[in-house]
Structure 1
Protein backbone atom coordinates (compact mmCIF):
# COMPACT_ATOMS: atom_id res chain seq x y z
CA UNK A 1 0.00 0.00 0.00
CA UNK A 2 1.20 3.46 -0.84
CA UNK A 3 1.42 6.21 1.75
CA UNK A 4 0.46 9.25 -0.27
CA UNK A 5 -3.30 9.88 -0.08
CA UNK A 6 -6.16 8.75 2.16
CA UNK A 7 -9.84 9.62 2.36
CA UNK A 8 -11.70 9.68 5.68
CA UNK A 9 -15.39 9.11 4.89
CA UNK A 10 -17.96 10.68 7.23
CA UNK A 11 -14.93 11.68 9.26
CA UNK A 12 -16.80 13.91 11.68
CA UNK A 13 -14.43 16.08 13.67
CA UNK A 14 -11.42 14.25 12.28
CA UNK A 15 -10.36 11.87 15.06
CA UNK A 16 -9.34 9.14 12.59
CA UNK A 17 -7.72 11.68 10.26
CA UNK A 18 -5.68 13.14 13.10
CA UNK A 19 -4.87 10.08 15.21
CA UNK A 20 -4.52 7.40 12.53
CA UNK A 21 -4.27 8.65 8.95
CA UNK A 22 -1.98 11.64 9.53
CA UNK A 23 0.63 9.28 11.00
CA UNK A 24 1.05 7.61 7.59
CA UNK A 25 -0.34 9.72 4.75
CA UNK A 26 0.86 12.95 3.17
CA UNK A 27 -2.58 13.99 1.85
CA UNK A 28 -5.92 13.50 3.61
CA UNK A 29 -9.33 14.21 2.14
CA UNK A 30 -12.06 14.44 4.78
CA UNK A 31 -15.48 13.69 3.29
CA UNK A 32 -18.08 15.03 5.74
CA UNK A 33 -21.46 16.65 5.20
CA UNK A 34 -21.35 18.96 8.26
CA UNK A 35 -19.41 22.11 7.26
CA UNK A 36 -18.38 23.06 10.81
CA UNK A 37 -16.78 19.62 11.29
CA UNK A 38 -14.81 20.03 8.07
CA UNK A 39 -13.63 23.48 9.13
CA UNK A 40 -12.54 22.43 12.64
CA UNK A 41 -10.66 19.43 11.23
CA UNK A 42 -8.97 21.67 8.66
CA UNK A 43 -7.74 23.99 11.41
CA UNK A 44 -6.24 21.05 13.30
CA UNK A 45 -4.69 19.21 10.37
CA UNK A 46 -3.54 21.73 7.77
CA UNK A 47 -0.22 22.28 9.58
CA UNK A 48 0.38 18.50 9.80
CA UNK A 49 -0.68 17.17 6.37
CA UNK A 50 -1.97 18.45 3.06
CA UNK A 51 -5.67 18.56 3.92
CA UNK A 52 -8.73 18.88 1.74
CA UNK A 53 -12.22 19.09 3.19
CA UNK A 54 -15.06 17.87 0.99
CA UNK A 55 -18.46 18.87 2.32
CA UNK A 56 -20.80 16.18 0.99
CA UNK A 57 -22.49 13.00 2.18
CA UNK A 58 -20.91 9.64 1.43
CA UNK A 59 -23.79 8.58 -0.82
CA UNK A 60 -23.16 11.58 -3.10
CA UNK A 61 -19.35 11.63 -3.05
CA UNK A 62 -17.67 11.05 -6.40
CA UNK A 63 -13.91 10.66 -5.91
CA UNK A 64 -11.84 12.87 -8.20
CA UNK A 65 -8.44 11.37 -7.45
CA UNK A 66 -6.78 8.04 -6.61
CA UNK A 67 -6.34 6.88 -3.03
CA UNK A 68 -4.03 4.49 -1.22
CA UNK A 69 -6.62 4.08 1.54
CA UNK A 70 -10.28 4.94 1.95
CA UNK A 71 -11.39 4.74 5.59
CA UNK A 72 -15.13 4.42 6.32
CA UNK A 73 -15.80 4.28 10.06
CA UNK A 74 -19.41 4.24 11.24
CA UNK A 75 -20.42 5.56 7.85
CA UNK A 76 -22.03 2.98 5.59
CA UNK A 77 -24.43 1.91 8.34
CA UNK A 78 -26.37 5.05 7.37
CA UNK A 79 -26.62 4.10 3.68
CA UNK A 80 -29.36 2.00 2.14
CA UNK A 81 -28.06 -1.13 0.38
CA UNK A 82 -28.17 0.30 -3.16
CA UNK A 83 -26.48 3.54 -2.05
CA UNK A 84 -23.88 1.52 -0.15
CA UNK A 85 -23.08 -0.67 -3.15
CA UNK A 86 -22.80 2.33 -5.48
CA UNK A 87 -20.61 4.15 -2.95
CA UNK A 88 -18.29 1.14 -2.59
CA UNK A 89 -18.06 0.72 -6.38
CA UNK A 90 -16.98 4.37 -6.68
CA UNK A 91 -14.46 3.87 -3.88
CA UNK A 92 -13.04 0.75 -5.53
CA UNK A 93 -12.60 2.57 -8.84
CA UNK A 94 -10.66 5.34 -7.08
CA UNK A 95 -8.11 3.07 -5.40
CA UNK A 96 -4.49 3.00 -6.47
CA UNK A 97 -3.24 -0.39 -7.63
CA UNK A 98 -2.37 -1.62 -4.13
CA UNK A 99 -4.93 0.48 -2.26
CA UNK A 100 -7.41 -0.65 0.39
CA UNK A 101 -10.84 0.25 1.68
CA UNK A 102 -11.39 -0.11 5.42
CA UNK A 103 -14.96 -0.35 6.71
CA UNK A 104 -15.48 -0.24 10.47
CA UNK A 105 -19.09 -0.60 11.57
CA UNK A 106 -21.47 -2.06 14.10
CA UNK A 107 -22.69 -5.60 13.45
CA UNK A 108 -26.22 -6.66 14.42
CA UNK A 109 -25.01 -9.72 16.33
CA UNK A 110 -21.72 -11.43 17.13
CA UNK A 111 -22.75 -14.48 15.11
CA UNK A 112 -21.18 -14.58 11.64
CA UNK A 113 -23.90 -16.90 10.37
CA UNK A 114 -27.04 -14.79 10.85
CA UNK A 115 -28.86 -14.12 7.57
CA UNK A 116 -29.29 -10.69 6.03
CA UNK A 117 -32.89 -10.36 7.23
CA UNK A 118 -31.70 -10.25 10.85
CA UNK A 119 -30.32 -6.73 10.42
CA UNK A 120 -31.55 -4.16 12.92
CA UNK A 121 -32.87 -0.73 11.99
CA UNK A 122 -32.67 2.12 14.52
CA UNK A 123 -35.27 4.73 13.63
CA UNK A 124 -33.79 7.17 16.15
CA UNK A 125 -30.78 7.86 13.91
CA UNK A 126 -31.65 5.95 10.70
CA UNK A 127 -28.88 3.46 11.38
CA UNK A 128 -28.82 -0.03 9.84
CA UNK A 129 -26.96 -2.58 11.94
CA UNK A 130 -26.34 -5.24 9.34
CA UNK A 131 -25.36 -8.83 9.97
CA UNK A 132 -21.87 -10.03 9.14
CA UNK A 133 -23.21 -11.98 6.15
CA UNK A 134 -25.08 -8.88 4.93
CA UNK A 135 -21.82 -6.91 4.88
CA UNK A 136 -20.11 -9.70 2.94
CA UNK A 137 -22.95 -9.62 0.40
CA UNK A 138 -22.63 -5.84 -0.04
CA UNK A 139 -18.87 -6.14 -0.52
CA UNK A 140 -19.31 -8.93 -3.06
CA UNK A 141 -21.94 -6.98 -5.02
CA UNK A 142 -19.51 -4.05 -5.09
CA UNK A 143 -16.81 -6.21 -6.65
CA UNK A 144 -14.63 -6.03 -3.55
CA UNK A 145 -12.52 -8.82 -2.10
CA UNK A 146 -12.43 -9.30 1.67
CA UNK A 147 -8.79 -9.35 2.76
CA UNK A 148 -9.41 -9.52 6.50
CA UNK A 149 -12.15 -8.98 9.08
CA UNK A 150 -11.20 -8.06 12.61
CA UNK A 151 -13.57 -7.95 15.61
CA UNK A 152 -13.11 -5.00 17.97
CA UNK A 153 -11.19 -6.06 21.07
CA UNK A 154 -11.82 -4.73 24.58
CA UNK A 155 -15.38 -3.71 23.71
CA UNK A 156 -18.26 -3.28 26.16
CA UNK A 157 -20.40 -6.44 25.86
CA UNK A 158 -23.52 -4.29 26.28
CA UNK A 159 -22.77 -2.57 22.97
CA UNK A 160 -23.23 -4.00 19.50
CA UNK A 161 -20.17 -5.84 18.19
CA UNK A 162 -17.88 -3.87 15.87
CA UNK A 163 -15.90 -5.29 12.97
CA UNK A 164 -13.20 -3.77 10.81
CA UNK A 165 -13.23 -5.08 7.25
CA UNK A 166 -10.18 -4.66 5.02
CA UNK A 167 -11.17 -4.75 1.35
CA UNK A 168 -9.59 -4.54 -2.07
Structure 2
Protein backbone atom coordinates (compact mmCIF):
# COMPACT_ATOMS: atom_id res chain seq x y z
CA UNK A 1 0.00 0.00 0.00
CA UNK A 2 2.08 2.84 -1.34
CA UNK A 3 -0.38 5.68 -0.68
CA UNK A 4 -0.26 7.23 -4.15
CA UNK A 5 3.44 6.54 -4.64
CA UNK A 6 3.12 3.34 -6.70
CA UNK A 7 6.02 4.48 -8.86
CA UNK A 8 8.49 3.84 -6.04
CA UNK A 9 7.65 0.12 -5.78
CA UNK A 10 10.63 -1.08 -7.85
CA UNK A 11 13.04 1.25 -6.04
CA UNK A 12 11.67 -0.06 -2.73
CA UNK A 13 11.94 -3.74 -3.71
CA UNK A 14 15.44 -3.38 -5.20
CA UNK A 15 16.66 -1.58 -2.07
CA UNK A 16 15.14 -4.26 0.16
CA UNK A 17 16.65 -7.06 -1.93
CA UNK A 18 20.14 -5.53 -1.76
CA UNK A 19 19.76 -5.09 2.01
CA UNK A 20 18.51 -8.64 2.61
CA UNK A 21 21.12 -10.33 0.40
CA UNK A 22 23.85 -9.08 2.76
CA UNK A 23 22.59 -11.62 5.31
CA UNK A 24 21.35 -14.64 3.34
CA UNK A 25 23.39 -17.69 2.43
CA UNK A 26 25.70 -20.33 3.83
CA UNK A 27 28.35 -19.84 6.49
CA UNK A 28 28.89 -18.36 9.91
CA UNK A 29 26.18 -15.96 11.03
CA UNK A 30 24.31 -16.15 7.72
CA UNK A 31 20.52 -16.35 7.66
CA UNK A 32 18.71 -19.29 6.05
CA UNK A 33 16.19 -19.09 3.22
CA UNK A 34 13.61 -21.62 4.42
CA UNK A 35 10.71 -19.51 5.65
CA UNK A 36 9.86 -15.80 5.90
CA UNK A 37 6.93 -13.91 7.43
CA UNK A 38 5.46 -10.79 5.77
CA UNK A 39 3.87 -8.63 8.50
CA UNK A 40 1.17 -6.21 7.41
CA UNK A 41 1.33 -8.01 4.07
CA UNK A 42 -1.62 -6.28 2.41
CA UNK A 43 -2.23 -7.81 -1.02
CA UNK A 44 1.22 -9.43 -1.03
CA UNK A 45 3.41 -6.96 -2.98
CA UNK A 46 6.46 -7.64 -0.81
CA UNK A 47 5.72 -11.36 -0.64
CA UNK A 48 5.54 -11.61 -4.45
CA UNK A 49 8.43 -9.36 -5.44
CA UNK A 50 10.88 -9.72 -2.54
CA UNK A 51 10.27 -12.72 -0.30
CA UNK A 52 9.04 -15.52 -2.58
CA UNK A 53 12.01 -15.12 -4.96
CA UNK A 54 14.39 -15.58 -1.98
CA UNK A 55 12.59 -18.02 0.37
CA UNK A 56 11.12 -21.49 -0.03
CA UNK A 57 7.99 -20.63 1.98
CA UNK A 58 6.38 -17.34 3.01
CA UNK A 59 3.57 -16.71 5.50
CA UNK A 60 1.45 -13.55 5.34
CA UNK A 61 -0.23 -11.75 8.22
CA UNK A 62 -2.59 -8.80 7.81
CA UNK A 63 -5.50 -7.42 9.80
CA UNK A 64 -7.71 -6.99 6.69
CA UNK A 65 -9.33 -10.14 5.29
CA UNK A 66 -10.11 -8.45 1.94
CA UNK A 67 -6.40 -7.77 1.38
CA UNK A 68 -5.48 -11.38 2.10
CA UNK A 69 -8.22 -12.56 -0.26
CA UNK A 70 -6.76 -10.32 -2.98
CA UNK A 71 -3.27 -11.66 -2.19
CA UNK A 72 -4.39 -15.18 -3.10
CA UNK A 73 -5.20 -14.09 -6.66
CA UNK A 74 -2.37 -11.49 -6.93
CA UNK A 75 0.28 -14.09 -6.05
CA UNK A 76 -0.96 -16.48 -8.73
CA UNK A 77 1.14 -19.64 -9.13
CA UNK A 78 3.72 -18.26 -6.69
CA UNK A 79 1.02 -18.55 -4.03
CA UNK A 80 1.58 -22.32 -3.95
CA UNK A 81 4.62 -21.61 -1.77
CA UNK A 82 2.64 -19.54 0.74
CA UNK A 83 2.38 -21.52 3.96
CA UNK A 84 -0.26 -19.54 5.83
CA UNK A 85 -2.50 -16.52 5.47
CA UNK A 86 -3.07 -15.18 9.00
CA UNK A 87 -5.87 -12.61 9.41
CA UNK A 88 -4.88 -10.88 12.63
CA UNK A 89 -3.64 -7.55 13.98
CA UNK A 90 0.05 -7.60 14.90
CA UNK A 91 -0.77 -6.54 18.48
CA UNK A 92 -2.45 -9.96 18.94
CA UNK A 93 -0.47 -12.09 16.48
CA UNK A 94 1.74 -14.79 18.00
CA UNK A 95 4.10 -16.24 15.38
CA UNK A 96 5.07 -19.89 15.72
CA UNK A 97 8.19 -20.43 17.83
CA UNK A 98 11.34 -21.16 15.83
CA UNK A 99 9.64 -21.04 12.39
CA UNK A 100 11.15 -18.06 10.57
CA UNK A 101 14.51 -17.17 9.06
CA UNK A 102 13.31 -13.64 8.34
CA UNK A 103 10.37 -11.66 9.71
CA UNK A 104 9.75 -8.66 7.44
CA UNK A 105 7.84 -5.72 8.98
CA UNK A 106 7.32 -2.90 6.49
CA UNK A 107 5.23 0.26 6.74
CA UNK A 108 3.15 -1.05 9.61
CA UNK A 109 4.84 -0.21 12.95
CA UNK A 110 3.14 3.21 12.98
CA UNK A 111 -0.17 1.44 13.59
CA UNK A 112 1.12 -0.09 16.84
CA UNK A 113 1.45 1.67 20.18
CA UNK A 114 4.93 1.65 21.72
CA UNK A 115 3.91 -1.12 24.14
CA UNK A 116 2.30 -3.23 21.39
CA UNK A 117 5.40 -2.83 19.20
CA UNK A 118 7.77 -3.89 21.99
CA UNK A 119 5.64 -6.93 22.84
CA UNK A 120 5.27 -7.90 19.18
CA UNK A 121 9.04 -7.71 18.64
CA UNK A 122 9.58 -9.93 21.69
CA UNK A 123 7.20 -12.52 20.23
CA UNK A 124 8.96 -12.25 16.87
CA UNK A 125 12.33 -12.91 18.50
CA UNK A 126 11.03 -16.25 19.82
CA UNK A 127 9.75 -17.09 16.33
CA UNK A 128 13.21 -16.87 14.74
CA UNK A 129 15.33 -19.80 13.68
CA UNK A 130 19.05 -19.74 14.58
CA UNK A 131 20.69 -16.68 12.92
CA UNK A 132 17.22 -15.42 11.97
CA UNK A 133 16.52 -11.73 11.47
CA UNK A 134 13.70 -9.31 12.09
CA UNK A 135 13.68 -6.54 9.49
CA UNK A 136 11.83 -3.29 10.08
CA UNK A 137 11.49 -0.97 7.07
CA UNK A 138 9.50 2.14 7.78
CA UNK A 139 9.20 5.90 7.58
CA UNK A 140 11.03 7.86 10.24
CA UNK A 141 10.26 11.40 11.30
CA UNK A 142 12.94 14.03 11.76
CA UNK A 143 12.10 14.53 15.41
CA UNK A 144 9.74 12.96 17.91
CA UNK A 145 6.43 11.28 17.13
CA UNK A 146 4.33 12.73 14.32
CA UNK A 147 0.66 11.65 14.20
CA UNK A 148 -1.02 10.97 10.84
CA UNK A 149 -4.64 12.08 11.15
CA UNK A 150 -5.62 10.36 7.88
CA UNK A 151 -4.92 6.77 8.91
CA UNK A 152 -4.53 7.19 12.72
CA UNK A 153 -0.91 6.02 12.62
CA UNK A 154 2.25 7.68 13.93
CA UNK A 155 5.71 8.22 12.51
CA UNK A 156 8.53 7.93 15.06
CA UNK A 157 12.05 9.27 14.73
CA UNK A 158 14.94 6.82 14.43
CA UNK A 159 16.10 7.35 18.02
CA UNK A 160 12.67 6.35 19.36
CA UNK A 161 12.48 3.27 17.09
CA UNK A 162 15.95 2.21 18.25
CA UNK A 163 14.96 2.67 21.91
CA UNK A 164 11.85 0.47 21.44
CA UNK A 165 13.95 -2.18 19.70
CA UNK A 166 16.27 -2.19 22.71
CA UNK A 167 13.34 -2.47 25.13
CA UNK A 168 12.28 -5.59 23.23
CA UNK A 169 15.69 -7.15 23.98
CA UNK A 170 16.92 -6.90 20.40
CA UNK A 171 19.99 -5.26 18.91
CA UNK A 172 20.38 -3.57 15.55
CA UNK A 173 22.96 -5.45 13.49
CA UNK A 174 22.65 -3.19 10.43
CA UNK A 175 20.74 -0.05 9.45
CA UNK A 176 20.42 1.82 6.15
CA UNK A 177 18.40 4.66 4.69
CA UNK A 178 16.45 3.80 1.53
CA UNK A 179 17.80 6.01 -1.24
CA UNK A 180 16.10 7.51 -4.35
CA UNK A 181 12.68 8.06 -2.79
CA UNK A 182 10.78 11.33 -3.47
CA UNK A 183 12.07 14.23 -1.37
CA UNK A 184 8.59 15.14 -0.09
CA UNK A 185 8.03 11.90 1.83
CA UNK A 186 9.57 10.91 5.14
CA UNK A 187 12.93 9.20 5.10
CA UNK A 188 12.63 5.42 5.07
CA UNK A 189 15.10 3.36 7.09
CA UNK A 190 15.68 -0.39 7.15
CA UNK A 191 16.89 -2.05 10.34
CA UNK A 192 18.06 -5.64 10.75
CA UNK A 193 17.50 -6.93 14.29
CA UNK A 194 18.63 -9.97 16.23
TM-score (norm 2): 0.79
Shift of 1:46: 6.1
Aligned twin of 1:127: 153
Give the length in aligned residue pairs.
161
Larger CA deviation: 129-138 vs 61-70: 61-70
User: Is 1:92 matched up with 2:161?
Assistant: no
Identify which of 55, 64, 82 aligns with 2:87.
55
Identify which of 21, 28, 48 aligns with 2:58.
28
Match of 1:12, SS state, is: coil
Say if 2:110 and 2:153, in contact at 8 Å, map to a contact too.
yes
Match of 1:96, SS state, is: strand
Q: Which runs of 4+ in 1 moved over 6 A?
A: none
CA distance in 2 between counterparts of 1:104 and 1:144 reads 16
TM-score (norm 1): 0.91
Say if 1:107 and 1:161, in contact at 8 Å, map to a contact too.
yes
Say if 2:52 and 2:81, in contact at 8 Å, map to a contact too.
no
Identify which of 120, 135, 139 aligns with 1:102.
135
Which structure 2 segments of 5+ residues have no match?
Answer: 1-30
CA RMSD in angstroms comes to 1.2
